Structure formats: C-alpha cells, structure tokens
C-alpha cells in the first residue's frame, strides 16, 4: 500500500454506513503521495484500515470507496469478479430481448464509482466520470471485451463532472472496432437507431425501457402527446400500443428527423404521427389557445437542475409544464410525468405535480410511481443512485 488517508470521526461514520464517497472535509491527513485515481488505504482515527478507495486530488469527493474489506486488495481479479456479478445480475432480471441494449455497469450501485457502461448489441459505450475510473479505464475495457466478446468498446467521457475531477473530456475507441453510426437496437418489438457518437447520454434512454412498455399498455385508441420527445422513444411505443394518433414535440431538428425515421423504420402509417419542432412550453400554450385535448400526455424533460443553486428555477419549470399538461388532458386522461434531476427529491416532485393539478383546477390520482429500470439499480447505502422520478396520474 503506497498511500493512505486518515479519517476524522465524521469520515469514519460515513464509511461505517457504507457510503462510497468521502469528501475532503472527512479526511484528517494524507500519508504518501497518491496520484490521481490511484488506490489508497482508508484508516480510521485509531489507524485501523477500513477499506480501499480511489483518490481524487482535485475533487471535493476526495476518495471513492472500492470496498470496505481490510483484507481485500484492488486488482484485476477483484474487478473481474465485480464485472461478472453485474453482468450475471442483468441476465437474471432483464428479459432476453432487453439484454442486447441495457446498462451493464451503473457506477457506485455496481461497485464501480464513476463508471457507466451501456451495451448496444456488439458494442459497449463507456463513460468514465471519476479519477478512479479514468485510471482503470483501459484495463476495464480489456476485461469487458474478454468477458462479453464484443466487437468494440467506445468511450463517451464528456460530462462536466470530469472537470471537477481535473479531467479533460474524451471520446474515442478504447478497445476493438469503432461502432457504426447509427447502431440498430431492438426493444419491445421495435427497432431504434442509436447515435453513440453524439446522442444524449450514451446514445439512448435505456433507463425508460419499463416506462415505455407501460405506456404501450395504456394507449389503445388514444390521442397521445409526447413532449421533449428526443428521437421518439415514448411516441414509438404509443404507436406500437395502438394509439390512434401521436403528436411529438422536440426542439432539436436532428433528433426529430430520427423520430421521423423511426416511424417509417418500424412500418407505422405516417398519418398517425405528427412531429413538431418547437419549444414545449410555447407549444403547450398554443394547444390551449386552439382548445386541443389529449387522452395521454408524456412529459420527459431534460435535467432542469444541475445543482442546488438551480433547484428553485427547476421547480418553476416543472410546475409550469405539468400545469399546462393538466389543462390539456381530457377527463379521465393520463399523465406520465418525469424528473431526471438528481437534486429533485421524490416528495418535492410529487408536491410540484400536486400543486400543478390544483392550479389547473383538476382532481388527480397517482396510479403508479415510476423510476429507472432494473438495470439501473440503487445501492441502499447510496440513495443518490435513484435519479429518475416519475408519476402516472389520472385526471378527472
């Protein structure tokens, strides 16, 4: 062990709770000269070792714990065991037709702080968001290719989180072949085109798989409005579920063109689909002036709050779109509404939606609480892993 960090009492308590993050204020001192991403031993106030973590000299999160076992090392065999466990879990909880496009590694929740790995058929897309992930990424790419026999591992490490770690933004092939653009994946009997080079996240919203399937079961004969449509995942599911007509609103012309291709690619009648390039806030108000009404509305906006400082503004944004949506629902209509902002708590989001319904003069019920699919698990000691909050509401 080349270097260790000694904890203050508060840091000890954090490790005892098995939380994977140690902030700079939890550290008493650093012994040795660990490089960015290197493994350090974590000692309590008595000098006893509590486990091992990755050191990040520039981040407020100074150490991300690999494990809490004094006797266990951090090496190739350790990571291979972790990878196998994560892959095996997905093979058990996901249906076979979902395993070709899924999240294989979900950061802290799978014991890999700062690492995201998504599978798209014969290719993996990796995001390395911490110093420890950056340190190990090439070795990890080799391990994953050997375990899964994929054709290539592509890196999409572009998040602003890397700046806090003192890391540059990086994209490119880590191992094997470059993926084609676009890739084709299948989900629920539908085919999607995925741009892993420039698409949102790693190319596709894998976390909404179960919610798209649920929507499909609710829309037979319905008129559906899909807001913040991106490439039309929810809209395509609605068409598959027998919706009479689907209207989709998206600000990005490029994404909307892919949504148009998806309709044709899957053999749906273009007359059942209307695509609108525009601002959702403005379009919802336009629909009210035109006295348009819908049976089902989906609100899946981008992250409104990146930090606590932005939370108040985000609350106003969520309140506004939900208010406008409630005004556009027919009696008995359904609203699927989401927030992917990590700063937004579930109780606060429910309150915002409740206030929106009240201001719209609607009585509404929560039929189901929604979150990310099972390949995005939450570690019980790391509740921050649950970022996607959603409600299925019925309005009178």
The residue count for the chain? 396
pTM, rounded to two decimals: 0.93
Q: What is the pLDDT of residues 19-70, one digit of tens each?
A: 999 999 999 999 999 999 999 999 999 999 999 999 999 999 999 999 999 9
Query: pLDDT value at position 111?
Result: 97
Domain 205-395, classified CATH 3.30.497.10, yes or no = no
C-alpha 184/C-alpha 127 separation (Å) is 20
Look up tokens 């991106």; give the residue: 230
pLDDT band at 263 (very low <50, low <70, confident <90, very high): very high
What is the percent of the chain with per-residue pLDDT over 90, rounded to a whole number?
Answer: 92
pLDDT band at 143 (very low <50, low <70, confident <90, very high): very high
Mean pLDDT of 189-214: 96
| Contact by Cβ (8 Å): 133, 114 | yes
Query: pLDDT value at position 1?
Result: 60
Q: What is the pLDDT of residues 167-190, one digit of tens each?
A: 999 999 999 999 999 999 999 999
Q: What is the pLDDT of residues 333-370, one digit of tens each?
A: 999 999 998 888 999 999 999 999 999 999 999 999 99
Phi, psi (degrees; rounded to nearest 5) at 363: -95, 130
Q: Does an H or E element contain 171, and which? A: strand 170-176
The average confidence (pLDDT) of the chain is 95
- Evaluate if residue 225 carries a pLDDT over 90: yes
Q: What is the pLDDT of residues 267-301, one digit of tens each?
A: 999 999 999 999 999 999 999 999 999 999 999 99
Report domain extents, the chain. Answer: 4-67, 76-176, 205-395
Catalytic residue among 128, 227, 340, 393: 340
- Evaluate if residue 87 carries a pLDDT over 70: yes
C-alpha 292/C-alpha 313 separation (Å) is 28
Query: pLDDT value at position 393?
Result: 98
Query: pLDDT value at position 231?
Result: 96
- Evaluate if residue 308 carries a pLDDT over 80: no
pLDDT band at 304 (very low <50, low <70, confident <90, very high): confident
What is the percent of the chain with per-residue pLDDT over 70, rounded to a whole number?
Answer: 100
Residue 340's region, left for phi above 0, alpha for psi from -120 to 50, else beta, is alpha
Q: Is 393 a catalytic residue?
A: no
CATH of 76-176, one of 3.40.50.150, 3.30.750.80, 3.30.9.100, 1.10.287.470: 3.30.750.80
| Contact by Cβ (8 Å): 44, 7 | yes
Query: pLDDT value at position 104?
Result: 98
Query: pLDDT value at position 213?
Result: 97
Query: pLDDT value at position 309?
Result: 79
Mean pLDDT of 8-16: 92
- Cα 223 to Cα 131, 215, 232, 248, 281: the distances in Å are 48, 12, 15, 11, 19
Query: pLDDT value at position 293?
Result: 97
Domain 4-67, CATH? 2.30.130.10
For the chain, helix, strand, coil in percent to 5 are 35, 30, 35
Mean pLDDT of 106-134: 97
């Amino acid at each position: 062990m080349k270097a260790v960090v000694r904890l203050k009492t508060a840091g000890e308590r954090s490790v005892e709770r098995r939380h994977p993050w140690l902030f700079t204020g939890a550290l008493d001192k650093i012994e040795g000269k660990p490089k960015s991403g290197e493994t350090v031993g974590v000692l309590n106030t008595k000098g006893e070792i509590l486990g091992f973590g990755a050191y990040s000299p520039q981040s407020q999160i100074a150490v991300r714990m690999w494990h809490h076992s004094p006797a266990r090392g951090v090496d190739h065999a350790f990571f291979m065991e972790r990878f196998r466990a994560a892959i095996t879990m997905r093979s058990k909880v996901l249906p076979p037709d979902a395993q070709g496009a899924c999240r294989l590694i979900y950061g802290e929740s799978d014991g890999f702080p700062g690492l995201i790995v998504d599978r798209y058929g014969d290719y993996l897309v990796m995001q390395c968001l911490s110093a420890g992930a950056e340190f190990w990424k090439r070795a990890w790419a080799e391990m994953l290719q050997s375990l899964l026999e994929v054709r290539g591992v592509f890196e999409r490490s572009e998040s602003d989180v890397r700046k806090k770690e003192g890391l540059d933004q990086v994209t490119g092939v880590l191992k094997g072949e470059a993926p084609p653009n676009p890739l084709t994946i299948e989900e629920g009997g539908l085919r999607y085109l995925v741009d892993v080079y420039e698409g949102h996240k790693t190319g596709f919203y894998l976390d909404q798989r179960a919610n798209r399937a649920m929507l499909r079961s609710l829309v037979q004969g319905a008129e559906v409005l899909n807001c913040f449509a991106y490439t039309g995942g929810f809209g395509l599911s609605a068409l598959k579920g027998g919706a009479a007509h689907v209207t989709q609103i998206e600000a990005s012309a490029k994404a909307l063109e892919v949504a148009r291709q998806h309709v044709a690619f899957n053999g749906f009648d273009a007359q059942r689909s209307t695509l609108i390039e525009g601002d959702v806030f403005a379009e919802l108000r336009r629909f009210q002036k035109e006295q348009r009404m819908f049976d089902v509305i989906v609100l899946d906006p981008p992250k409104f709050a990146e930090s606590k400082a932005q939370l108040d503004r985000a609350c106003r944004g969520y309140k506004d779109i939900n208010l406008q949506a409630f005004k556009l629902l027919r009696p008995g209509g359904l609203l699927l509404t989401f927030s992917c902002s990590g700063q937004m708590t579930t109780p606060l989001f429910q309150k915002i939606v409740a206030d929106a319904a009240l201001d719209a003069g609607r009585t509404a019920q929560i039929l189901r609480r929604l979150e990310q699919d099972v390949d995005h698990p939450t570690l019980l000691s790391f509740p921050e892993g649950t970022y996607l909050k959603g409600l299925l509401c019925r309005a009178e």
